[in-house]
C-alpha cells in the first residue's frame, strides 16, 4: 500500500467498524493495563536492533509524542539505548515532549512498519509534525532501517499470544486495505 | 510501447536502473525490487543527502556491497558535494574508502575530488554527479579527458532531443533522472538555502537543514512552514504540502496580489511515458531520486520502473502503476524533458 485511502471515498461498513474498533475498545481500558505491552514493544525493538540508536545520535534521549489521533491516548517515546521508554498517557495530560508526530493509528503503524512512506503521508497532510523537526527526521530514518516488518517482529515476541494477535492484526489490516 | 507506435526492441540497449538508498534496509529493498545499481552516501557532508539519521557507516557500505554483488547489482557511492577550503580531508577519506571497499563507482562533483580520485585510484570508476551541473559537450568532455569520467548524470534541464544530440558528442555514458524530486534548474549552483540557514546542498549536503525547519498547524489544519525565521509557505487545510525548501516556497511579490510559487512548484518528476524516448536517445542509466525517502517508497518506485523497463525491452506496452501518492505536492511533471516550456 502506498498511501492511505483518499478522503471522500466511501468506506464499507465493516471497514469503518474495524477502523473505529481500536478507539471504541480501548476507551474504557485503564492505561495501566496497556503499559506492560508498550514497555515490551520498546524493549524488544531496542534488543532486536540496537544499532537503530546510532542513527538517532544526539536525539536518542529526547521525548517524542506519538499521537494516534483516532485512539483515546497518546504515547511518549524516549529512545534511550539502555532503557527505551514508551509510555501511554491520556490526551488531556499533555505530557512534556520536544517533538510530536500525529496521524491515524494505522497510518503511523504502517509508516513504522515500512509499508507507508512518511514523506507521502506528510504531502497528503495525513501526518502532522511539530516541534524539533530534526529529531523527528532522525527518528523516522532510524525506524526505517528496521529489517523486514517491525510489527511482525514485535508480535512474535509476545510468545503464546503472538499467534492470535498476529492473526487479528492481519485480518484488520487486510479488511482496511480493501 | 508497442512496435506499432514506432519503437522497436532493437532501437535501444537495456538501460541500467539506478536506485536510491538512505539506509541499508532501503538498499536491500531496492536490490530485491530489481535495481541494477543502488547509490548511497556516507554519514557526513560528503554527499548531497546529509540528513539526520540517514546514510551509511563504512561497515554498512561494506555489507551492502556484498549484498548487492551477490545479487548482480552494483553499489555506487555518492561523494558529490564540494569541499570547503580546509576541509578536503573528509572528501579524501570518502574516496579512499570507496576505493578500498570496492564500490562499483564513485559519483563526484568537485574537480578537486575528481582529480584526487583519478590520480590515486585510476581503477576507481567515476561518474559525474548532477551536482557538477555539466550540460554542454565541452564541459562533459573536459571531465572525461581530465579525470577519466565514465558517466555523466545530466542536469534536469535538457530536453530528450538535446540529450540525443549530446549523446553523439560525448565519449561517456549518460544517466538521466526519471522520477523524484525536481529542484532548481541550475543544479549544483543553488545556494538559496545558505542565505537563510547558512548551509547548502553544495557544501553541507543538505538544503533546508531539518534543525531550521518548523511546522505549525492551527485548529483549521492550516499549515505554516518556516525556514529559520522566514515563512516560506502556508498550506490551507487539506491542501497538499511540499518539501520545506526555498525554491518550492510561495511568496508575496510585487507583481502578484496573492502569494505564488516564484521559483518552482511542489511537484515531482515522472518520466514514465518518456522511457522509450530516453532509451532511444542513448541514455545508459535511468535514475530514481530519493535517498531521503523510506524503504516503502524505494520498493514501490523501483518495482514500478523495473517492470516498465522489462516490458519495454520485451516489446510489450509498459503498464505503469500510479506513483502519484508518492509525489511531492501529489503532483507530477515531465519537467523540461519534452520541451523547455514546462510551467
In this prediction the ipTM stands at 0.91
Residue B308 grid coordinates: 516498465
Q: Which of these, B24, B19, B22, B23, lies nearest to B34 by C-alpha position?
A: B19
Task: Give residues 79 to 98 of A whose Cβ lies within 8 Å of B.
Answer: none
Which has the closest alpha carbon to A117: B26, B243, B297?
Answer: B297
Q: What is the pLDDT of residue B10?
A: 57
- Residue B15 is given by DSSP the state P
CA distance B150 to B173: 6
Q: Which helix (H) or strand (E) holds B59?
A: helix B58-70
Note whether A125 and B334 are within 8 A (CB): no
What's the confidence (pLDDT) of residue A16? 73
pLDDT at A22: 74
- Listed in sequence order, the residues at least 6 apart from A139 whose beta carbon sits closer than 8 Å to its beta carbon are A56, A59, A64, A77, A79, A99, A101, B53
- The Cα B52–Cα B211 span in angstroms is 9
- Within A61-177, residue ranges assigned H as helices are 105-112, 118-123, 133-144, 150-156, 162-176
CATH superfamily for domain B3-182+267-333:
Aldolase class I (3.20.20.70)
Domain residues of chain B, as ranges?
A: 3-182+267-333, 192-261
**Angle between helical axes of B58-70 and B24-32 (0-180°, round to 10):** 10
pLDDT of B11 over the 80 cut: no
pLDDT digits (tens, 9 = 90+) for B205-253: 888 999 999 999 999 999 999 999 999 999 999 899 999 999 999 998 8
More confident residue, B214 or B203: B214
The SS3 of residue A32 is helix
- What DSSP assignment string belongs to B237-253? TT-------GGG-EE--
Which residue from B minimizes the CA distance to A56?
A: B53
pLDDT at site A17 = 74
pLDDT digits 0-9 by tens, B78-136: 999 999 999 999 999 999 999 999 999 999 999 999 999 999 999 999 999 999 999 99
Q: Are the CB atoms for B233 and B250 separated by under 8 Å?
A: yes
Q: How far is CA A120 from the centre of its chain?
A: 17
pLDDT at B3 over 60: no
Indicate which of A141, A143, A153, A177 best probes the interface with B, i.e. most B CBs within 10 Å of its own CB: A141
Report residues of chain A scoring pLDDT below 70: 1-11, 160-161, 169, 171-178
CB A156 within 8 A of CB A162: yes
SS3 of residue A159 by DSSP: helix
Strands B268-270 and B173-181: antiparallel
Q: How many CB pairs under 8 A join A and B?
A: 113
Give all domains of chain A, ordered by start, each with its CATH number: 31-148 (3.30.1050.10)
- Identify the pLDDT of residue A172: 65
Residue in A118, A133, A135 closest to B215 by CB: A133
Query: Per-residue pLDDT for B19 more than 60?
Result: yes
Residue A152, chain B, CB below 8 Å: the answer is no
For an interface test with B, which of A133, A138, A150 has the most B Cβ atoms less than 10 Å from its Cβ? A133
Best of A5, A114, A144 to mutate (most B CBs within 10 Å, chain B): A144
User: To the nearest whole percent, how much of chain B has pLDDT over 70?
Assistant: 96
Rg (Cα) of chain A, in Å, rounded?
16
Strands (E), B138-206: 151-153, 173-181
Distances (CA, A) of B71 to A65, B107, B249, B304: 40, 21, 42, 19
Amino acid at each position: 500500500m502506498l498511501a492511505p485511502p483518499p478522503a471522500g471515498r466511501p468506506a464499507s461498513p465493516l471497514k469503518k467498524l474495524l477502523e473505529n474498533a481500536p478507539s471504541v475498545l480501548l476507551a474504557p481500558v485503564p492505561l495501566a493495563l496497556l503499559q506492560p505491552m508498550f514497555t515490551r514493544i520498546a524493549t524488544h525493538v531496542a534488543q532486536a536492533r540496537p544499532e537503530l540508536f546510532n542513527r538517532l545520535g544526539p536525539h536518542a534521549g529526547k521525548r517524542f509524542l506519538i499521537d494516534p489521533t483516532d485512539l483515546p491516548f497518546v504515547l511518549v517515546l524516549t529512545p534511550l539505548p539502555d532503557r527505551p521508554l514508551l509510555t501511554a498517557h491520556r490526551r488531556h495530560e499533555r505530557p512534556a515532549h520536544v517533538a510530536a508526530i500525529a496521524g491515524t493509528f494505522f497510518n503511523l503503524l504502517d509508516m513504522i512498519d515500512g509499508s507507508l512512506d512518511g514523506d507521502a503521508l506528510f504531502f497528503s497532510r495525513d501526518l502532522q509534525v511539530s516541534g524539533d523537526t530534526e529529531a523527528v527526521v532522525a527518528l523516522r530514518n532510524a525506524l526505517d532501517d528496521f529489517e523486514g516488518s517491525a510489527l511482525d517482529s514485535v508480535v512474535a515476541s509476545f510468545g503464546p499470544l503472538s499467534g492470535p494477535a498476529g492473526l487479528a492484526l492481519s485480518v484488520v489490516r487486510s479488511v482496511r486495505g480493501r | 510501447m508497442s512496435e506499432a507506435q514506432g519503437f522497436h526492441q532493437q532501437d535501444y540497449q537495456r538501460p541500467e536502473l539506478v536506485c536510491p538508498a538512505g539506509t541499508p534496509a532501503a538498499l536491500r529493498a531496492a536490490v530485491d525490487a530489481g535495481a541494477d545499481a543502488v547509490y548511497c552516501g556516507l554519514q557526513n557532508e560528503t554527499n548531497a543527502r546529509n540528513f539526520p539519521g540517514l546514510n551509511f557507516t563504512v561497515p554498512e557500505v561494506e555489507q551492502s556491497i556484498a549484498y548487492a554483488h551477490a545479487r548482480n547489482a552494483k553499489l555506487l557511492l555518492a561523494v558529490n558535494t564540494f569541499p570547503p577550503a580546509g576541509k578536503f580531508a573528509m572528501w579524501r577519506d570518502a574516496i579512499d574508502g570507496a576505493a578500498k571497499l570496492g564500490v562499483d563507482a564513485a559519483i563526484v562533483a568537485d574537480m578537486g575530488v575528481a582529480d584526487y580520485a583519478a590520480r590515486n585510484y585510476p581503477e576507481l570508476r567515476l561518474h559525474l554527479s548532477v551536482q557538477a551541473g555539466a550540460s554542454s559537450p565541452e564541459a562533459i568532455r573536459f571531465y572525461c579527458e581530465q579525470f577519466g569520467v565514465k558517466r555523466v548524470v545530466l542536469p534536469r534541464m535538457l530536453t530528450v532531443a538535446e540529450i540525443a544530440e549530446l549523446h553523439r558528442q560525448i565519449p561517456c555514458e549518460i544517466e538521466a533522472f526519471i522520477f523524484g524530486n525536481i529542484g532548481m534548474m541550475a543544479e549544483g549552483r543553488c545556494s538559496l538555502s545558505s542565505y537563510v540557514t547558512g548551509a547548502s546542498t553544495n557544501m553541507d549536503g543538505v538544503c533546508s537543514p531539518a534543525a531550521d525547519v518548523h511546522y505549525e498547524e492551527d485548529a483549521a489544519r492550516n499549515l505554516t512552514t518556516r525556514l529559520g525565521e522566514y515563512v516560506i509557505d502556508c498550506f490551507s487545510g487539506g491542501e497538499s504540502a511540499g518539501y520545506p525548501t526555498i525554491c518550492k516556497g510561495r511568496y508575496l511579490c510585487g507583481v502578484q496580489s496573492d502569494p505564488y510559487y516564484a521559483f518552482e512548484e511542489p511537484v515531482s518528476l515522472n518520466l514514465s511515458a518518456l522511457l522509450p524516448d530516453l532509451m532511444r536517445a542513448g541514455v545508459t542509466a535511468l535514475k530514481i531520486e530519493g535517498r531521503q525517502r523510506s524503504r516503502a517508497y524505494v520498493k514501490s518506485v523501483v518495482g514500478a520502473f523495473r517492470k516498465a523497463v522489462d516490458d519495454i525491452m520485451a516489446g510489450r506496452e509498459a503498464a505503469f502503476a500510479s506513483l502519484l501518492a508518492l509525489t511531492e505536492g501529489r503532483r507530477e511533471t515531465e519537467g523540461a524533458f519534452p520541451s523547455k516550456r514546462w510551467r
